[in-house]
Amino acid sequence: LDFLHVLLYDISFNCSSLQYTCAFTNAADGIQPLFSEKRVLEGADVTLSCKYTAVNINNLQWYRQYPGSEPEFLIFLTEAQGASNSTLRLTAKADKQQKQVDLNISRTAVSDSALYYCALVPTVTETHQTLY
């Protein structure tokens, strides 16, 4: 039997479009993995979870990164609408009450061994004032 080695990190973006050059958000809009590492048997299901503290969320995202490669986008979701880009093996859900986002990988394969990122894109609000 093969074991999968899954590492989980967080990214918080503060921008209107998704780019890796965006500034990290402040601590008030944070997201943290519940576990930094998980090991599962090949063929088993695994759920990766992150808790977030942001009040206004544009969307939550999941990425995967293989050694020596750039992170690849997997799936995004909103608290209200759920996930888009779900596949047969990858599903995601957000629990607004618990402020938690989960990525479920079913029937894991050795190729699922990677670094996974949970990302938060907060809703950007602006205040306009006229100065006299």
Identify whether 132 is part of a domain. Answer: no
Q: Which pLDDT score is estimated for 104?
A: 92
CA 120/CA 45 separation, integer angstroms? 24
Identify whether 83 is part of a domain. Answer: yes
Q: Which pLDDT score is estimated for 3?
A: 47
Identify whether 117 is part of a domain. Answer: yes
Give the range of the structural domain holding residue 54, as residue numbers without chain letter. 3-122
* CATH of residue 56: 2.60.40.10
- Give me the sign of the Cα torsion angle 96, 58, 23, 101: positive
Q: Which pLDDT score is estimated for 24?
A: 36
Identify whether 8 is part of a domain. Answer: yes
CA 118/CA 52 separation, integer angstroms? 10
Tens-digit pLDDT string for the chain (132 aa): 444 555 544 444 433 333 333 333 344 568 888 888 888 888 899 999 998 887 767 788 899 999 999 999 998 887 666 666 666 789 888 888 888 889 999 999 888 999 898 888 766 554 444 444
